[in-house]
Amino acid sequence: MFERFKKAGEILFTSGCNDSHSGNMSVRDGDGIMITSRLSMPSRLNKEDIISVRIDAGGPEDDLASRDLEFHRLIYKNSKNQAVIHSHLPNVLALCVTENKILPQDTKGQCFFPQGVTILKPRQISDKDEIARLMSSSLSSSPFVAVIKGYGVFVAAGSLEEALEIITCLEQSSKIWLASKLVGVKQTQPTHSSQPSSNNRYDHNRKRSAIPPGIGVMGRRTGGYSRRGI
């Protein structure tokens, strides 16, 4: 099991889903949870970074587990999902600023999220009770996806590998959509006059000066060919 945690953490980091210390993961283990510790580097996990805690009750190990343990417990108590990944997906969080829903533009993203993914927007991202209330409406679904503005993404699925595929797919789809929105921005075009401008350096109808461009005339440079105009 440790190797599966380790591999997932490395993939989340190298794919740009997390920084070196962000995010957390867990797997259901009977009546318990195996979860990454709050001081761990998910990008470089060690065996002691995996903490075992109970699903239904707290214990001394809770102080070592991820600070998002309560959300992992909430998901396990209300669903049959076997694994949870929490990540701070940068492109998803960027879209959360202006959008109300993630709408994938790519085939795989549309297969995973045919209706898109609604963005949950707590008034205070530090209010975990409010986040839990927002998440509660669809906790029983499998897989489960919650996009929380300013806080990140929770994905729960039947296995750690399945959750990993879903969460990286969501980030990739968001990256594609964000890029397409940026590319699609229309640039403001200058207004063109119907009459040719005498200052147009490419106007082939204007008379060519006998004086080569760049040569000073009466202490001045010709306006159409100064370096400032290039």
Q: Note the pLDDT tens digit of each residue in 4-30.
A: 999 999 999 999 998 888 899 999 999
> Please, which pLDDT band fits residue 192 given cuts at 50, 70 and 90?
low
**Residue 220 gets which letter from DSSP?**
B
Whole-number Å distance between alpha carbons of 151 and 124: 10
Whole-number Å distance between alpha carbons of 74 and 77: 5
Among 97-111, 126-140, 190-204, name the one with the lowest average pLDDT.
Answer: 190-204
Mean pLDDT, the chain, rounded, equals 83
Take residue 78 and report the two structure tokens written for it: 């209300």
Highest mean pLDDT among 30-39, 55-64, 177-186, 192-201: 30-39
SS3 category, 168: helix
The full set of domains in the chain, from first to last, is 2-179 (3.40.225.10)
Is cis: bond before 42, omega within 30 of 0? no
- Nearest-Å Rg of the Cα atoms of the chain is 28
229 vs 45, residue with greater confidence: 45
Q: Could you read off the pLDDT of 35-48 as tens digits, one per residue?
A: 999 988 888 999 99
Whole-number Å distance between alpha carbons of 62 and 52: 9
Category of 117 on φ-ψ map: left (φ > 0), alpha (ψ -120 to 50) or beta: beta
